Structure 1
Amino acid sequence: MAGVTENPISRSRLEGLDLARYLAFVGMVIVNFKIAMGAEGEQGLLGFLTSSLEGRAAATFVVLSGIGLGLAAGKRLTQTVGVTIKRAAFLLVLGLLNMTIFEADILHYYAFYFLFGVLLLALSSRWLIVVMLGLNLAFVAMILTLDYDAGWNWDDYTYAGFWTPTGFVRNLFFNGWHPVIPWLGFLLFGVVLSRQALSERRMQWMLLIVGFLTLAATQALSAYLTSIAAAVDMELVDLVSTEPVPPMPLYFLAGVGASCAIVGVCLLVENALKKAGVLDVLIPAGRQTLTLYIAHILIGMGTLEAIGLLGEQTLSQSVLASVAFCAAATVYAFFWAKAFKRGPIEALMRKLAG
């Protein structure tokens, strides 16, 4: 096993990653508001665009977390392990509390991504890729031998038995919204990216081009295989899908491609947006995504519920609500950053977990 090598990146490069986090956050809000407002199933361009975000925005978030973890490690691997384990415990508690009001919570999954991810930091990039491949193969084996529908009521997206030991472990590792197998692979992919020369223009273009081509080729391959599978047995369609549920290998590959493209384009346009003054407006929100994630549930969805907009709404209404919330969140974060270095929940996590 090779140790982690430090990949120094200038502060401006980190701002490009903050921009990517901001965009991933906006994507997650659009997806979650769409589901909460019952605006799924609509066709047309808007339907295609919002459907394309499903699973991609969240996957990009996890990849970006892996990049952050890898960059934080540098030559301080031992210190990073201790701090990350404590922060994982914080996220687990926060996520389980959030589960009581929002059953699609991702934070408690993050806790385990970080826990397992930090323990694998000492592996070389080659071995991390092997682990990623193993996670995807393991999921295929699991879905062929276990009952993926166990616990689920797909009519209302409720999960029975989550708070039991068996249900919790099954949901966490296998059939939850963002199961550790294979979603941990996204974090590990981010660690691999953190070891690349992200500050170099050539690498940024490579991320954009290779990422886009990977996403496009994966979607095309999935469409082709789906047509074949549908003619044989409809149950085979899930095995070649790029949908996030269940997260099959082609979904993972599409998520990796999308995240590469987003990171690449954000790093490429960073300087231009910086000169235009746009970046300084957006990145405070990109640095408070934990706070804003909780806010989009408590404040965003809470407001929608209070005014009777949860369920049976149009896609246009859900996108409009998403844009309005993200605009408000951006303004809040901009002014909060004038007075405080970190967001409220980020500051609490740092105080309690280092």
Structure 2
Amino acid sequence: MSHLSQRITGLDYARALAIFGMILVNYKIAMQAEEGGAPWLRAFAGLFEGRASALFVVLAGIGVSFMTAKIRTSRNKELIRQTRNSLYRRATFLFLAGMFLLAIGWSADILHYYAVFLLVASVLITLSDNKILGLFVSFLFASQLFLLLFDYSKGWSMNFHEYTDFWTFTGFFRNLLFNGFHPIFPWLCFFLIGLWIGRKGWLSQGKRLKVLLFASVGTIIFELISLLLIKWISPVLDHEAATYLFTTKPMPPTMLYVLSGTCSALAVLVISLYLADKFANSFLTKAMIATGQLSLSHYIGHVIIGLGFLEALGYMENGSLSFAIVYGCGYFVLAFLFSFFWRRWMTRGPVELIMRKFC
């Protein structure tokens, strides 16, 4: 298997891990199980908050960088036009899919944000690496500044479970750009850094260990900086204000959250590359890769099928963290097995096949 093929299957492996984490976090949110549960269970669930979805977006950036590698080299105008049109169509499909999920009540959708990331990617195909990195830094600082200038809680209910004016023009764009679950400021940073990393060739076998080391150390450093800043600033402002500015939780998404989330995403990605390479012939690896290849189907399915089943039983907002975790793990196991057997006969997932017809 070529190094590029290994990297691509490694990305699929990591994408499966991202889907697993997103399922757990989303089920916890949907069942309103943020509070309660044993301390170790809360700690386990907390590991995935904002990290799984960050990994998902970083992978999207890396995937687009691989997709456009030859085009950047050739600078062929016709190929660039065709690729941009393909990205436009994918963005349109994902936006409509995301709006459908929002319309049926899934407020934590990521697909309509993802659509915007692809639109941005279509513009950045020929942009230099340095300019992409510059955009990353600009969006990072702008996002932190916006947290100071604007009211992050505007539009949200008291418990942050409902966005009260989402279906208005102002509310929709406020949510999209600033204070939704995955707002453009700063979530585009994850996509941009993925785009940049994919171009730099850091995922080759010879560089993985160094990337893993720096990413792991970086995660620890940014987490420590967050803890220390909150501790030192709390007496000056108050604990709530200090946490608001320097937390590494996804809401509000601070600069430190983006930096820590990027590092943890890279660490998980490199580990995934090692596992996909080392155990390439095992059932677990093949099924994980298949699950990652069906990630769009599983994302939509975990809302419509997984949560739809609970809604039909009248057991949605049960508030039990242990049930949310067990149910999420059970759903992922079924998705995992479905992916393995589906990929033995079909080249793409159910939703991926539909998207392929249009994109």
- The bucket for the TM-score relative to the shorter chain is over 0.9
What is residue 98 of structure 2 aligned with on the other side?
95
Report the Cα distance in structure 2 between the residues aligned to 1:162 and 1:114, rounded to whole angstroms.
Answer: 22
Task: Give 1:178 deviation, angstroms.
Answer: 0.5
Aligned residues: 346
User: Which segment drifts farther, 197-206 or 276-285?
Assistant: 197-206
Q: Tell me the TM-score normalized by structure 2.
A: 0.92
The counterpart of 1:272, out of the listed 257, 278, 284, is 278
What is residue 147 of structure 2 aligned with on the other side?
143
Task: Give 1:308 deviation, angstroms.
Answer: 3.4
Task: Give 1:9 deviation, angstroms.
Answer: 4.5
Alignment of 1:42-191 (within 5 A): 42=36, 44-76=39-71, 78=80, 79-101=82-104, 102-155=106-159, 157-191=161-195
Gap runs ≥5 in structure 1: 1-7
Q: SS state of the match for residue 99, structure 1?
A: helix
Report the Cα distance in structure 2 between the residues aligned to 1:269 and 1:335, rounded to whole angstroms.
Answer: 21
1:241/1:250 contact within 8 Å kept: yes
What is residue 19 of structure 2 aligned with on the other side?
25
Task: Give 1:154 deviation, angstroms.
Answer: 3.4
Report the Cα distance in structure 2 between the residues aligned to 1:314 and 1:204, rounded to whole angstroms.
Answer: 39
> What is the identity, as a one-letter code, of the residue corresponding to 1:68?
G
Report the Cα distance in structure 2 between the residues aligned to 1:129 and 1:309, rounded to whole angstroms.
Answer: 46
| Per-residue deviation, residues 218-237 of structure 1 (Å, max 9, x unmatched) | 11110111112222223232
> What is the identity, as a one-letter code, of the residue corresponding to 1:67?
I
> What is the identity, as a one-letter code, of the residue corresponding to 1:157?
H
Report the Cα distance in structure 2 between the residues aligned to 1:12 and 1:179, rounded to whole angstroms.
Answer: 32
Q: SS state of the match for residue 232, structure 1?
A: coil
| Per-residue deviation, residues 49-102 of structure 1 (Å, max 9, x unmatched) | 211210000000000000110000012351322211111011111111110120
| Per-residue deviation, residues 79-127 of structure 1 (Å, max 9, x unmatched) | 3222111110111111111101201111001110111122123222222
Task: Give 1:323 deviation, angstroms.
Answer: 0.8
1:62/1:186 contact within 8 Å kept: yes
Identity %: 35
Report the Cα distance in structure 2 between the residues aligned to 1:154 and 1:195, rounded to whole angstroms.
Answer: 43
Report the Cα distance in structure 1 between the residues aligned to 2:68 and 2:90, rounded to whole angstroms.
Answer: 14
What is residue 227 of structure 1 aligned with on the other side?
231
Task: Give 1:339 deviation, angstroms.
Answer: 1.7
User: Structure 1 runs of 4+ off > 6 angstroms?
Assistant: none
What is residue 77 of structure 2 aligned with on the other side?
none
Task: Give 1:199 deviation, angstroms.
Answer: 5.2
1:106/1:178 contact within 8 Å kept: yes
Alignment of 1:304-343 (within 5 A): 304-343=310-349
Report the Cα distance in structure 2 between the residues aligned to 1:121 and 1:262, rounded to whole angstroms.
Answer: 26
1:41 paired with 2:47, answer no
| Per-residue deviation, residues 281-300 of structure 1 (Å, max 9, x unmatched) | 22111001111001000111
User: Which segment drifts farther, 325-334 or 303-312?
Assistant: 303-312
Task: Give 1:196 deviation, angstroms.
Answer: 2.9
What is residue 9 of structure 2 aligned with on the other side?
15
Gap runs ≥5 in structure 2: 73-79
1:289 paired with 2:295, answer yes
Report the Cα distance in structure 2 between the residues aligned to 1:276 and 1:346, rounded to whole angstroms.
Answer: 25
| Per-residue deviation, residues 133-182 of structure 1 (Å, max 9, x unmatched) | 11011112222122211111032611122122111111111111100111
1:205/1:268 contact within 8 Å kept: no
User: Which segment drifts farther, 57-66 or 140-149?
Assistant: 140-149
| Per-residue deviation, residues 211-263 of structure 1 (Å, max 9, x unmatched) | 11111111111011111222222323211110101111000001101111011
Q: SS state of the match for residue 115, structure 1?
A: helix
1:207 paired with 2:207, answer no
> What is the identity, as a one-letter code, of the residue corresponding to 1:94?
A
> What is the identity, as a one-letter code, of the residue corresponding to 1:168?
F
> What is the identity, as a one-letter code, of the residue corresponding to 1:50?
A
Report the Cα distance in structure 1 between the residues aligned to 2:31 and 2:164, rounded to whole angstroms.
Answer: 22
2:247/2:257 contact within 8 Å kept: yes
Report the Cα distance in structure 2 between the residues aligned to 1:83 and 1:139, rounded to whole angstroms.
Answer: 29
Decide whether aligned partners of structure 1 residues 162 and 183 sit closer, same or farther in structure 2, where only a CA change above 3 A counts.
Answer: same
Report the Cα distance in structure 2 between the residues aligned to 1:282 and 1:141, rounded to whole angstroms.
Answer: 39
What is residue 252 of structure 1 aligned with on the other side?
258
Report the Cα distance in structure 2 between the residues aligned to 1:333 and 1:131, rounded to whole angstroms.
Answer: 37
Report the Cα distance in structure 2 between the residues aligned to 1:156 and 1:168, rounded to whole angstroms.
Answer: 16
